Amino acid sequence: SAVISQKPSRDICQRGTSLTIQCQVDSQVTMMFWYRQQPGQSLTLIATANQGSEATYESGFVIDKFPISRPNLTFSTLTVSNMSPEDSSIYLCSVVPPGFYEQYFGPGTRLTVT
């Protein structure tokens, strides 16, 4: 399928600060997706990141809070801005590799906001 890496794997941050999460894929992909998994919950799609255009955000998520960059076909970043304890979650990127129809997930970034 694809090898997907995320950095950092985990972090503990102070409220009011921002954290940028990186997602790197070993092949060129058209779309990358960012999800949030709150403690004990399932996955919720934050936004779809397309290269060369602005990200498309889902209801309840806004660009000011979760700015996304997609500078090329193998890389994307998600920033969690002005963090509060409610932002404590696992953040996951996923991709549809070339020749596939299914989404494959990166290892995730576990964020704790104190």
Partner 1 sequence: QKEVEQNSGPLSVPEGAIASLNCTYSDRGSQSFFWYRQYSGKSPELIMSIYSNGDKEDGRFTAQLNKASQYVSLLIRDSQPSDSATYLCAGGYGNKLVFGAGTILRVKS
Does residue 49 interact with partner 1 by CB under 8 A? Answer: no
Name the one range near partner 1 by CB under 8 A: 12-20, 70-78, 79-87, 106-114: 106-114
| 30 Ramachandran zone, left/alpha/beta (phi>0; psi -120 to 50) | alpha
Which residue's CB is nearer to partner 1, number 16 or number 100?
A: 100
- Binding test (CB under 8 A) with partner 1, winner from 41, 72, 82, 84: 41
Number of neighbouring beta carbons within 10 Å of residue 27:
14
For the bound state, the minimum distance from the C-beta of residue 29 to partner 1, rounded and expressed in Å, comes to 12
DSSP per-residue string spanning 102-113: S-EE---EEEEE
- Alpha-carbon distance 50 to 31, whole Å? 5
Per-residue contact flags (x/-) with partner 1 for residues 4 to 23, judged by CB under 8 A: --------------------
Inter-CA distances, 63 with 2, 58, 60, Å = 27, 10, 10
DSSP bridge partners of 33: 48, 94
In the complex, the smallest distance separating the C-beta of residue 87 from partner 1, rounded to whole angstroms, is 18
Binding residues for partner 1, per CB under 8 A? 1, 31, 33, 41-45, 48, 58, 90, 92, 96, 101-108
